[in-house]
Each structure stands twice: as structure tokens, then as C-alpha cells.
A and B are shown apart, each in its own frame.
Chain A
Amino acid sequence: MAKPDALGSFEQVILTALLVLRDNAYGVTIREKAEELAHPKKVAIGAVYVTLDRLEEKGLVSSWLSDPTPERGGRAKRCYRLEPSGRRALEEAAVTAKRIWDSTANVWGRDWAKGGAK
């Protein structure tokens, strides 16, 4: 198993999408949520698959195939969920992001913090 070292920014986006989506996390919904989180950047579905694969190899997420459904042409979904190690890694990333946010807000002022990054 690869060492679950520091998360890349896109890995953080994908893990956050899994955290939010809970039981409804599969390729299509993860891509939609990731695009929402990464706005205004576009998210390619191929990048989502590759990142999920890498996160699974690191042991941060796990996956299983659901039952086939007619709206998918009789094909199964690969559903994903956060593993405890993934949750911890995301927590660490979120704490770091919070520190960065607080520090930049201190320098750039309260108005910037309210409006958020444009």
C-alpha cells in the first residue's frame, strides 16, 4: 500500500465530495460535487476516476459495485466511501486550510473574508 502522505488539492476536493455525498457517492455525482467545490474550474470525469483509483490504493477510500440499474443501461455503479484514514487526512487538510484562511483574512481584512476569494 502506498503511504498516505500529504493530499493534493484535487484529492482534497474528491475526499470532500465523498464526505458530503455519503451513500450516494459514485462517478457521476462525485464529478458534479467536485465541480461545484472546485468552481470555476472544470473537472474532467477522467481525472475523477484516476484520483479515486489513487485514493483507493492509498487506503483512504473504499469502493464496491452496486446492483445494475435500468437508467444506467443495466450497468452497476462503483460506489465510494471515506475510510477512517481518509477522514483523518481530510481533517488535517481542512485544519491547514482553516489556518491559511485565518492568516490571509488577518492580512487582507474582514471584507475579503466575508466576500470570499473571487
Chain B
Amino acid sequence: MRTYPPQFAEGLVGCLLPPGCREEILGDLFETCRNPLEYGVSALAVIPRVIFSQIRRNTDSLIFLLTASALAYSFIAGSAGMSGGLAHSGLSHPLLRLAIPSVAALVSLLLCNAFAPAEERRLHAVTFDIVVTMAAAAITQLVLLAFLQRGLMLPGWWPSEGTALSWIAIILLRAVFPPGVKVPPTQRSLS
């Protein structure tokens, strides 16, 4: 007798798969499903790989580097207002304090790239990416606060002109060079 995957599991897997490959992978997993456990194991094995693959496909390395620089600068500029800047504040681990929110923001931007829809991106999608990125950075600080790791938090961070300029640069970079599927020439000739 044919075994079907549980609907909630399919829904969950569908949410975790990037839209660029969701349809076919859900279909393949459905077709090969022999029991719910095997379905879950296969899905868990597939999801990280296809997310990574979509990040690689949708991310331009030069734009990524520019975005990473702008992001790092936004946090440096934000902390510059406090007692002569983070580097001269005498606080421990100044670089780590800057790196934690920057890396979280970058990872969330990469995930946004993986989940970028195949069609052309509009301004609301860019705005959504920026909100997600800021939220990721804020969450790192909340997590550090919750686990009483104040020694690793970015202290006294407040948006400055430099921060605003950096975020404008990031928005412009994503609006002008949107992440998206680079259509290979063979596919173009087919359509």
C-alpha cells in the first residue's frame, strides 16, 4: 500500500525549502516516501544542501563583499558615539562585540538570498530583507542579554549618521543588484 507523508511534515518541509526548488523537491520526496520517519530523514538531509546551493546560486561574491563591508561599518559607526569609539573604550573583546551582530546580519542576508523568489525583486522584498537582517542583529544582543553575556554585547549602540548611510548603501546594493536566479544561457534559449 502506498504511504503518504504526513501533511504537517510536508508543510514544514515546504516552508524550509527555498522557493526556487520547492516544487520539484517536495514532489521527489513525496514520490520516494516509504514511511514518515524516512521522509523526515530524507528532508533533513536535503534541506541544508539545497539552501547552500541556492545561496551560492543567488549570491554575487563582489556584492556580498560590499554588503559585508557596509554592514560592519554600520555597527562600527553606531558604536563610535560612545566614549571615543568601541576600540578605545577599554572594553574587553571589542572586535568580537562588533563581529557577533555583523555575522548574524550577514547570515540572515545570505538566507534571504537563498529564499529570494525567482521573479524580479521589488522594493518591498528589499525592505523585508533589511528588516530581517536588523532583527537578526537585535536578536543576538537579546540572546546575549538573556544569557548574561554582557561582556560580548555591543554597548551603547545607537544609530548615527554613519549607520544610516551604511544601511542606505545596503538597501541600494540590494535594490540595484538584487539576489536572484542567474538564468543560464541554455535556459534563456529554451524559453
Contacts and interface: CB of A to CB of B under 8 A. Distances in A.
A67 to B, nearest CB: 11
A17 to B, nearest CB: 15
From A44, A49, A61, name the one whose CB has the most chain B CB atoms within 10 angstroms: A49
Contacts of A76: 23-24, 27
A101 interface: no
Contact of A64 (B25, B184, B190): B190
Interface residues of B, number: 27
A8 to B, nearest CB: 15
B30 A65 contact: no
Interface in A44-76: 44-47, 49-50, 53-54, 56-59, 61-65, 68, 71-73, 75-76
Given A50-B49, A50-B50, A78 B184 contact: no
Interface string B16-34: 0000010111111011100
B60 interface: no
B34 to A, nearest CB: 13
A49 B53 contact: yes
A87 interface: no
A50 B52 CA distance: 9
Interface of B is mostly: helix
B185 A49 contact: no
A73 B57 contact: no
A72 B42 contact: no
B24 A26 contact: yes
Interface of B: 4, 10, 21, 23-28, 30-32, 42, 45-46, 48-50, 52-53, 57, 182, 184-187, 190
21 contacts: A1-B184, A1-B185, A28-B28, A45-B42, A45-B46, A46-B50, A47-B49, A49-B46, A53-B57, A56-B187, A59-B184, A62-B187, A63-B187, A65-B24, A71-B31, A72-B28, A75-B24, A75-B30, A76-B23, A76-B24, A83-B186
Given A49-B25, A75-B30, 5 more contacts: A28-B31, A49-B46, A53-B57, A75-B24, A77-B28
